[in-house]
Structure 1
Amino acid sequence: MNNILLKPFDTKYESVPFEQIKNEDYKPAILEGIENAKKEIDAIVDNSEAPTFENTLEALEHVGKQLNRVTEAFFNITSAETNDYLEKVQEEISPVLAEYGNDITLNEGLFEKVKAVYEQTDKEDLSAEAYRLLDKTYKSFTRNGALLNATDKETLRGIDKELAALKVKFSQNVLQETNAYILHLTDEQELEGIPDSIKAQAKEEARKRKLEGWVFTLQYPSLVPFLTYAKNRERRKELYLANGKKAFKANEFNNEQIIKSIVQLRDQRAKLLGFDTHAAFVLEERMASKPDTVFDFLYDLLHKAKPFAGKDIEALKPLAAKDGIETLMPYDHAYYAEKLREEKFDFSEEKLKPYFPLNQVLHAAFDAAGKLYGLTFEERKDIQKYHEEVTVYEVLENGKHKALLYTDWHPRDGKRAGAWMTSFKGQYRSNGIDHRPHISIVCNFSRPNGEVPSLLTFNEVTTLFHEFGHALHGMMADTVYESLSGTNVYWDFVELPSQFMENYCYQKNFLATFAKHYKTGELLPMEQIDKIVASANYMEGYQTMRQLSFGLLDMAYHTGKLKQDNSIEGFEKQITNETQLYPTVEGVAQSPSFSHIFPGGYSSGYYSYKWSEVLDADAFAYFKEEGIFNPEIAAKFKTLLSKGGTEDPMDLYVAFRGRKPSVDALLERAGISE
């Protein structure tokens, strides 16, 4: 069988040969890759020599390299460019991969060798990175069932297979529901308030569907502008309800029972492994370390932020009253928040968009990376890509190859919602060769429309910088072991580099270098830039409460609070009640489409966005003291980025900052300090 995925990639920088891969190649390549990896495991176990770090830990680190390349490509494609065939393969292959993972961690012969090296090796005999790998690997075995009896191991295998299948189904249901809904309007009066550029996109969406009028969808570039600008309150409510009912309707794509099953299985798994809850299991390997620390952190912020959030909502009421609205509802928030922003700061997201064409913003991010870390970015036409809209850049440092960066900006039916960074190949060193990473940024920004390029809202500008921060973390990796490189760090540390980069969007002198009108090249007037900077804290109380509601909901699901007879909607409203600033809307729920915590990697970890904000605010305050592109401070931050997970994250932070982080910088930046 001539399957290109079964051979080393004979391409530039060993990049994935996307244009030569057939959909039918993935499953057999993954299955054969698993069998080959099992043989590599057997070779480690059957080695008659005494177990050593080299013949056990390093050998294990290199097991299944080709399989990993294939699975990384496959699961990235099923997020960014899936289809019915690939979804079926994903359903079939996910439980098989879960079983393969169990075959490694539950392999008694392999664990005995790892355990022997762990118990017999002095920390001083290894480099800090090597010892970190040893410690992480040993914990990976013990935390995933190596010490269980035979019966419990079989139970664990069953749980993991079932979880793998449920997570795939959850994601597929959300994608189906997102794609299935449209708001089709034929009366232009119902579009009052909506900017011409958004109407033009909706017109084009209707044309693609062979419909008259205008079509709005649940994709972010369509949903958010409608809720922000549409004067027609009933239509806003209609779209808000549709979004809140995703995977929450009485149909085959309902995720309610899947949520209960995932939560129950995670809890069962944690208890099987000796933990009180799934959150306790997860947090053992996080900076926060235990659920009580997370709850204390979230509630402390909640009590500090709530008075400011209340003021945010009160400020909207006079505007709503002018329209005869006595009681503001959640579907009113974006509309009146934008009206107040225009009134208070004399600018609107829509009026700013012509100054933020996508390509211009991207090159501003590139420019920041150049000033901070000496990186340059050159488009490559000779690297294969998975979709014609993808662009590939070679990243250079002092003229030397550093990484590949894939960018994929616009919504498609086969792409899940949101924005994320991922990788097709991690960084590691082997046999004197530094294997450099292949990083990808995927977003859902508005498409170009005729001669008008893709124009970003300021919120989308910060999103691009956020994902670019993650990408820099991956691109700057400089470690020996791939499992410790780049973003392979504690989950409540991983958002530091991304949120750190968002700060640059509010720096006046930096904004003035790239906020230029796409047609005329005219610089955004300085008074407008001043207003953007002044608006940095706008609605920060409200936004903080929103993030806290997600974090508390996540923790509630994973600390045993959900009972099987609870309704998902009722449970969600009960848990988030203290964070709610508007009256309840019946028949909607966030949980059935909460992909971060159910299929995604943020279970018991959504708090990390706020946790990392403490770190990023404190880190950027250091830059502001010394200069936002200060080379000495940047060199220290570059070291933090490059070390990945080779050191404890707090040690890395203290080495950079000279002390532990302080929450004061976050409170001051957010405008929620007294």
Structure 2
Amino acid sequence: MNPELTNWTGTLGLPRFDLISDQDFAPAFDTCLQLAGEAVEAIAANPEPPSFQNTVAALETAEDPLNRLCAVFYTLAGVDSNPAREDLQRQIAPRLAAHGSKISMDPRLFDRVEAVMQEKDALAPQDRRLTELTLRGLRRSGAGLTGEARDRMAAIRERLAVLSTDFAQNVLADERDFTMAIADDRLAGLPDWLLRAMRAAAKERGLSGQIVTLNRSLIVPFLEHAGDRALRELAWRAWTARGDGSGAGGAKTDNRPIAAEILQLRHERAQLLGYADFASYKLEPEMAGSAENVEALLRQVWDPAKSRAEADGRQLETMLNDDGVNGALEPWDWRFYAERRRKALHDLDDAAVKPYLTLDAMIGAVFDTANRLFGLEMREFQAPLWSPDVRAWEITRDGRQMAVFLGDFFARPSKRSGAWCSSLQQQHHIGKGQRPIVVNVCNFTPPEQPGAPAYLSWDDAHTLFHEFGHALHHILSDVGWPSISGTSVARDFVELPSQLFEHWLEQPEVLDRHARHAETGEPLPAALRDRILAARNADSGFATTEYLASALVDLDFHRGQPPADPMARQVEILKELGAPAAIPMRHATPHFAHVFSGDGYSAGYYSYMWSEVMDADAFEAFMEKGDAFDPETARKLEEWILSKGDSLPADELWLKFRERKPGVHALLKGRDLIEVAS
């Protein structure tokens, strides 16, 4: 086995990606699965009486080589996929699921952890919390099942691993394989910065001219600016067709039957464990606790958001008709006329804004904000990584290393869409302890020429802050065990740090300090800054409605008996909600990767809004002090939210920080929906 896959020898403990080849992974998985199985078997078969150290603590390190291997492989599979890696993903998914089932459903392990739990009052607080979570995880994985039920649970988990892998790869294939060339005589309305991005996308694929791809940072501005309505429709239909069998991959990438089977298997899995449905199973350990609580929150926001969207839609349809187009406003029209209205209302032109929002300037804003709030220092260094575009920083505080941070910011055809934060290595205090290695991945449009500035949209800048908010959850983590470290928290709590950090982008003093013109170095004019901030909620009805539609469909899919035809049920749900026809779901079922490419956000897409209730209220804590950088509030935020991981239940951490429960008022106010709600 290539030792670099598990014993990393690069700068500051990074893997040496230049010493790793695709051929290394298959034998490494063979070896690491065997080692992990042997290590866990030794714990289960230990003749000594169960104790925290020989059982719960031992499980924390039993799979270290396998975990490090998976961290390297799945990072590469997400950021730089290729046929070899995709094939190995399909092969390894059921093997990892079978390995996980063997461990989590081992009655000997369950009995040992349960015995440790009997002595919980003698344990230190974090040890007790880890034991409680370990026992809960075993129960929820099926450790109490026997006979046919146990075998069926293992089979379901293996099948789900295969299906979720297929789902994600199908979406990636449709995104990767689609390009739409735009002729020179059909470029009306497209600003120079967007044309440069379209030419850069063509060049990257060895094409001439300019193209549109399904990268969000390219297709959304195209839909906002393209004056050619027919081209907008073609682009929109391609974007929304990902995974539905009509995209570039045809029937080979049709995710509709995959989604239906996933829903059926999840339901069966939940019922094997004694739950009425998958939503009941999934939401039990979350802050929300039940589907009823989730729906109550979403419905509170749906009505004012829908009212705002419908009022906006009437204005936009009038603009469409004034342009000589008879008929209703269509989904491919909304962004175009919303952008025209925003520009008119706020005297705001993206071409004037983008030179101030360069990637380097916004990275500077992110790092300076983290420094002012938490005293973090960043030093960039060179290391061999998976792409020349990837950048690395050492993060320190008071001379002590806090983390290594990697940023992979630009879109590539081999990278899955979206943005995310992951870790190659978790923080913990075992032995000499370990600091995290954190990865932020985005899909920003690269510059047309190497070395030229990369321009971000306002949404891109928000994404940059959002993902670094997740990174801070890792960087500032200070707990004993990896399983409760960093972002290993309730799903509807995990988005609190990321969404909260976005607020600092909108602080005038942050923009005044960091938004500098790429060519002149001049600061962002105060008048332009104020117009940007005034326009940030110009289309809040649309944004909130498209998100809520996805969240409510996700919740419905997992309540009660799952639909035999999810696409038909999706149509029914949107009709029942009275969703505006010109505002489709943010993520339609065939490409709803949050929900179907793994269990992470299944029955949990609502969590962004659940966390937003808290993030709006949390930022109010700073505003109540009259200072977005109030040191005492920042200290409490680190002490009770960012450093604690899952060492205490999420609702207890929140109350320690805010000393009261959050309310929806701050969220509605932040989205400019408060007048509609009242």
Deviations 1:402-443 (A, max 9, x none): 100000011112100111111100011112x22000000000
Contiguous gaps of at least 5 residues in structure 1 = none
Deviations 1:569-588 (A, max 9, x none): 332121123252235889x9
> 4+ residue runs of structure 1 moved beyond 6 angstroms?
none
Residue equivalent to 1:556: 556
Residue equivalent to 2:237: 241
Q: Are the aligned partners of 2:286 and 2:491 in contact in 1 as well (CA < 8 Å)?
A: yes
* Pair 79,589 (structure 1): closer, same or farther in 2 beyond 3 Å: closer
Deviation for aligned residue 1:277: 0.9
In the alignment of these two chains, the number of paired residues is 665
Deviation for aligned residue 1:16: 1.6
Output aligned runs, 1:604-619, within 5 Å.
604-619=603-618
Contiguous gaps of at least 5 residues in structure 2 = none
What is the CA–CA distance in structure 1 between the aligned matches of 2:354 and 2:584, rounded to whole Å?
32
Paired letter, 2:448: N
Q: Are the aligned partners of 2:279 and 2:559 in contact in 1 as well (CA < 8 Å)?
A: yes
Paired letter, 1:177: D
What is the CA–CA distance in structure 1 between the aligned matches of 2:508 and 2:578, rounded to whole Å?
33
Q: Are the aligned partners of 1:4 and 1:21 in contact in 2 as well (CA < 8 Å)?
A: no
Give SS of 2:396's match.
strand
* Pair 6,613 (structure 1): closer, same or farther in 2 beyond 3 Å: closer
What is the CA–CA distance in structure 2 between the aligned matches of 1:203 and 1:649, rounded to whole Å?
47
Which has the larger displacement, 202-211 or 626-635? 202-211
Paired letter, 1:96: R
Output aligned runs, 1:41-56, within 5 Å.
41-56=40-55
Residue equivalent to 1:178: 175
Paired letter, 1:334: R
Deviation for aligned residue 1:251: 1.7
What is the CA–CA distance in structure 2 between the aligned matches of 1:196 and 1:561, rounded to whole Å?
51
Q: Tell me which of 195, 212, 215 is aligned to 1:219.
A: 215
What is the CA–CA distance in structure 1 between the aligned matches of 2:635 and 2:201, rounded to whole Å?
46
Give SS of 1:408's match.
strand
**Structure 1 residue 29 corresponds to structure 2 residue 28:** yes
Deviation for aligned residue 1:304: 3.1
Paired letter, 1:128: P
Deviation for aligned residue 1:615: 0.2
Q: Are the aligned partners of 2:470 and 2:495 in contact in 1 as well (CA < 8 Å)?
A: yes
What is the CA–CA distance in structure 1 between the aligned matches of 2:100 and 2:4, rounded to whole Å?
20
Output aligned runs, 1:164-203, within 5 Å.
164-186=161-183, 188-203=184-199
Residue equivalent to 2:159: 162
What is the CA–CA distance in structure 2 between the aligned matches of 1:522 and 1:260, rounded to whole Å?
54
Deviations 1:7-43 (A, max 9, x none): 5223444322211111111122122111111111122
Output aligned runs, 1:284-363, within 5 Å.
284-325=284-325, 326-363=327-364
Q: Tell me which of 201, 208, 213 is aligned to 1:205.
A: 201
Residue equivalent to 2:525: 525
Deviations 1:271-324 (A, max 9, x none): 111111111111011000111111111112212322222222223233222212
**Structure 1 residue 372 corresponds to structure 2 residue 373:** yes
Deviations 1:505-557 (A, max 9, x none): 21112211111110001111101111122223222122111111010111111
Q: Are the aligned partners of 1:236 and 1:331 in contact in 2 as well (CA < 8 Å)?
A: yes
TM-score by length of 1: 0.96
What is the RMSD computed on CA atoms of the aligned residues? 1.7
Q: Are the aligned partners of 1:6 and 1:33 in contact in 2 as well (CA < 8 Å)?
A: no
Which has the larger displacement, 318-327 or 436-445? 318-327
Output aligned runs, 1:72-91, within 5 Å.
72-91=71-90
Deviation for aligned residue 1:351: 2.6
Paired letter, 2:464: L
Deviation for aligned residue 1:672: 1.4
Output aligned runs, 1:353-502, within 5 Å.
353-381=354-382, 383-431=383-431, 433-450=432-449, 452-502=452-502
**Structure 1 residue 121 corresponds to structure 2 residue 122:** no
Q: Tell me which of 141, 144, 152 is aligned to 2:138.
A: 141
What is the CA–CA distance in structure 2 between the aligned matches of 1:546 and 1:661, rounded to whole Å?
24
Q: Are the aligned partners of 1:506 and 1:536 in contact in 2 as well (CA < 8 Å)?
A: no
Paired letter, 1:458: W
Paired letter, 1:534: A
* Pair 583,310 (structure 1): closer, same or farther in 2 beyond 3 Å: closer
Give SS of 1:665's match.
helix
Give SS of 2:517's match.
coil
Output aligned runs, 1:564-603, within 5 Å.
564=564, 566=565, 568-577=566-575, 578=577, 580-583=579-582, 590-600=588-598, 601-603=600-602
Q: Are the aligned partners of 2:191 and 2:225 in contact in 1 as well (CA < 8 Å)?
A: yes
Deviation for aligned residue 1:269: 0.6
Q: Are the aligned partners of 2:4 and 2:19 in contact in 1 as well (CA < 8 Å)?
A: no
* Pair 670,201 (structure 1): closer, same or farther in 2 beyond 3 Å: closer
Q: Are the aligned partners of 1:338 and 1:348 in contact in 2 as well (CA < 8 Å)?
A: no
What is the CA–CA distance in structure 2 between the aligned matches of 1:447 and 1:585, rounded to whole Å?
28
What is the CA–CA distance in structure 2 between the aligned matches of 1:323 and 1:108, rounded to whole Å?
70
* Pair 336,307 (structure 1): closer, same or farther in 2 beyond 3 Å: same
What is the CA–CA distance in structure 2 between the aligned matches of 1:34 and 1:350, rounded to whole Å?
53
What is the CA–CA distance in structure 2 between the aligned matches of 1:329 and 1:246, rounded to whole Å?
19
Deviation for aligned residue 1:100: 0.6
Paired letter, 2:588: Q
